[in-house]
């Protein structure tokens, strides 16, 4: 397990490094970064969200583990609220409440529980997407503007993905098994495959943009670990998993019975590093992109030690 986590963290750092090299080599400049960020947040991420929600959300799964997406709807906004109370800054708060809830947790859950673990992580993703595109964006921009939220492609992709998955289960089957489609359904399957393929670039592109953001800084500035960043890292990697653990114990003390698999997924996701997309979201919605890029870099590097320890602790 430690080797799996270690290898994935190294992949994250490698892609960040490639983005840094691209910026230093002047392959991309500040204007290009802005365009890439808009492409990623307004098109690639919504495509990824829509495709993955269609393929993973279904009625029976939600009925059995309804509290998994609900936990995301509580955990992320609580992190943003706590971050704002303790730091007083919008970007800091956003980073505190934004764990890497897909890339690393998915690999860990697959290794521990197989397909059932993957489903639990993706159910968490459903709730996390709703939280991100509503409370998360409002936290980052400093205002809760319903009209601005309604213009957000990510929110529409989330609503459409969950709605279609529940209302038209056949679409979910096509998304999961496109090769089984026949007749007119083949066209829909091709469309869904194309959507998923386009969306898969969101994660590597986010990492490359993060590296390029750092590449625009002096090396000493990009690697700077100041008190502000240390506070964000401490809240993200230490305080949030401890608070999640206390909340789970409290629910169990009140008589709520959690599936052991879901319990583990919720707990280790709470302590993951800052989400890969953190810097891209900060750039797109007016946050401090340099700070966010440094937080992604440092929290992911520290996850080489903290992630295996966290998984061992909760498991």
Residue 22 is predicted with a pLDDT of 94
- 2-310: CATH, from 1.10.8.50, 1.20.950.20, 1.20.1530.20, 3.10.180.10: 1.20.1530.20
Residue 96 is predicted with a pLDDT of 96
Name the region of 274 (left: φ>0; alpha: ψ -120 to 50; beta: rest): beta
Q: Please choose, from the candidates 157, 72, 77, the residue with its C-alpha nearest in 3D space to the C-alpha of residue 149.
A: 157
Residue 2 is predicted with a pLDDT of 65
201 in Cβ contact with 44 (< 8 Å): yes
Grouping H, G, I as helix, E, B as strand and the rest as coil, residue 143 is: coil
Q: Is the pTM of this model over 0.95?
A: no
CA 129 to chain centre: 8
Map tokens 């992709």 to a residue: 157
Q: Please choose, from the candidates 192, 199, 223, 196, the residue with its C-alpha nearest in 3D space to the C-alpha of residue 293.
A: 223
C-alpha to C-alpha distances, 124 to 70, 145, 181, 251, nearest whole angstrom: 8, 25, 28, 18
Residue 241 is predicted with a pLDDT of 92
Q: What are the tens digits of pLDDT across the range 92-128?
A: 999 999 999 887 888 788 778 887 888 888 889 888 9
Name the stretches of the chain with pLDDT < 50.
Answer: none
Distance spanning both ends of the chain, measured CA to CA: 11
DSSP string for 10-62: HHHHHHHHHHHHHHHTTSS-HHHHHHHHHHIIIIIHHHHHHHHHHHH--HHHH
Distance between CA atoms of 139 and 16, rounded to whole angstroms? 25
User: Residue 19 half-sphere exposure, CB side, CA atoms within 13 Å?
Assistant: 30
C-alpha to C-alpha distances, 165 to 97, 171, 173, 223, nearest whole angstrom: 27, 7, 9, 43
Residue 257 is predicted with a pLDDT of 78
Residues 6+ apart with CB under 8 A from 216: 23, 30, 33
């Amino acid at each position: 397990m430690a080797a799996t986590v270690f290898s994935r963290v190294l992949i994250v750092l490698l892609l960040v490094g490639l983005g840094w090299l691209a910026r230093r080599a002047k392959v991309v400049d500040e204007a290009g970064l802005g365009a890439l960020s808009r492409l990623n947040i307004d098109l690639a991420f919504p495509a990824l969200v829509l495709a993955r929600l269609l393929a993973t959300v279904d009625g029976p799964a939600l009925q059995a583990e309804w509290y998994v997406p609900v936990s995301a709807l509580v955990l992320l906004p609580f992190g943003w609220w706590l971050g704002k109370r303790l730091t007083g800054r919008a970007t800091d708060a956003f980073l505190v409440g934004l764990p890497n809830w897909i890339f690393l947790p998915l690999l860990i859950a697959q290794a521990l529980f197989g397909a059932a673990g993957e489903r639990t992580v993706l159910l968490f993703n459903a709730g996390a997407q709703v939280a991100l595109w509503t409370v998360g964006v409002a936290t980052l921009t400093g205002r809760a503007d319903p009209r601005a939220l309604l213009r957000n492609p990510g929110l529409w992709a989330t609503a459409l993905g969950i709605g279609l998955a529940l209302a038209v289960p056949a679409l979910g089957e096509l998304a999961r098994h496109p090769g089984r489609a026949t007749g007119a359904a083949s066209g829909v399957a091709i469309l869904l495959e194309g959507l998923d393929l386009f969306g898969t670039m969101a994660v590597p592109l986010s990492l490359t943009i993060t590296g390029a953001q750092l590449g625009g800084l002096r090396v000493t500035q990009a690697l700077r670990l100041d008190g502000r960043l240390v506070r964000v890292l401490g809240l993200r990697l230490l305080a949030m998993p401890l608070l999640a653990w206390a909340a789970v114990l409290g629910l169990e003390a009140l008589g709520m019975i959690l599936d052991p698999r879901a319990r583990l997924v919720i707990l280790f996701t709470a302590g993951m590093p800052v989400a890969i997309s953190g810097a891209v979201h900060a750039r797109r919605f007016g946050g401090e992109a340099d700070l966010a890029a440094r937080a992604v870099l440092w929290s992911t590097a520290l996850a080489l030690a903290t992630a295996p320890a966290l998984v061992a602790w909760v498991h």
